[in-house]
Amino acid sequence: MWIKHGYGLPPGEERVLHALSERWAHRLPAVVASWPGAVITEAFEGRELSPSDPLDHWLSAAAAIAEIAAGERAHVGDWLALGVRDRRPPVWKATVESLMESPVVRAMEPVVLRQCQELVPGWISRFIDGFAGPATLVPQDSGCCNIHVSDRGPLLFDWADVVIGHPVFSCDRLLDQAPGPFHAPIIDAFLGPLDLSRDEFLAMRRSNVLHEVLRYHDELGFLPPDDPAHKWLADSVRSQLRVLVEHELAQD
């Protein structure tokens, strides 16, 4: 068996797994037992997806993530009612503006903070303008370390941090960890089940760093300040924002 304790991010991984298992049992580890903040599953079949795996394993993983994303579009209301955080355009502006007022962000160097604040309207517009397709459930850590290659296909076993948003961000970590020559076919495999255009995919992917900043910032509220993970996440929020500012200024 495998036992996992989460940070307590709403609604809790155990609740997400129970809801998903009704529709996607063939893509998830079987839940043995759960309680608030923790879950026990059966041992994972197969082995971890690796950069050394052949292309077809990566394509199967991308297609499986997209298949779930496409199917969960019909259940967005249920997920929101369960407490999943909202990353859709109507709330994106307020979410990013709130981030800029966070003590973690306000602790940045004054010049970088000012640059962030100046760039925020463009970041918000970019996300809202690119978000054309329907929202869905987005697992935010679908990297290869959280996907097992098995005889029954890809198994996805990290559902601790989910939001309702654009499906592109379900594929973000997978692409970051895939070998470079695999990127184009992985994107094609991901687009198919979602009936999503490549143009929209690429437009939304331009917001991936800011999306990850929000993810890390969310986790801070569920960790004590003296926890080493809290410091790591806070530092990551600031460093990712610096990268974003540097990239934007370089484009100018």
25 within 8 A of 237, measured Cβ to Cβ: no
CB neighbours (10 Å) of residue 25? 11
Domain assignment present for residue 8? The answer is no
Write the single-letter amino acid at 117. Answer: Q
Reported confidence tier of residue 9, pLDDT bands at 50, 70, 90: confident
pLDDT score of 79: 98
- 202: domain CATH number is 3.90.1200.10
146 within 8 A of 162, measured Cβ to Cβ: no
204 within 8 A of 87, measured Cβ to Cβ: no
pLDDT score of 8: 81
At 53-89, the pLDDT tens digits run 999 999 999 999 999 999 999 999 999 999 999 999 9
pLDDT score of 202: 96
Domain assignment present for residue 105? The answer is yes
Region of 37 (left: φ > 0; alpha: ψ -120 to 50; beta: rest) is left
Domain assignment present for residue 139? The answer is yes
At 129-174, the pLDDT tens digits run 999 999 999 999 999 999 999 998 999 989 999 999 999 999 999 9
Q: In what order do the strands lie in the sheet with 153-156?
A: 47-48, 147-150, 153-156
**pLDDT higher than 90, residue 95:** yes
Domain assignment present for residue 200? The answer is yes
Range in 38-47, 54-63, 100-109 the model is least confident about: 38-47
Domain assignment present for residue 22? The answer is no
- Per the structure, the complete domain to which residue 198 belongs is given by 46-251
Residues 37, 41, 176, 121, CA torsion sign: negative
At 134-143, the pLDDT tens digits run 999 999 999 9
Domain assignment present for residue 23? The answer is no
pTM for the model stands at 0.95
Domain assignment present for residue 2? The answer is no
Domain assignment present for residue 93? The answer is yes
Reported confidence tier of residue 252, pLDDT bands at 50, 70, 90: low
Number of structural domains (the chain) is 1
Bridge partners (DSSP) listed for residue 147: 156
What integer is the mean pLDDT of 190-208?
96
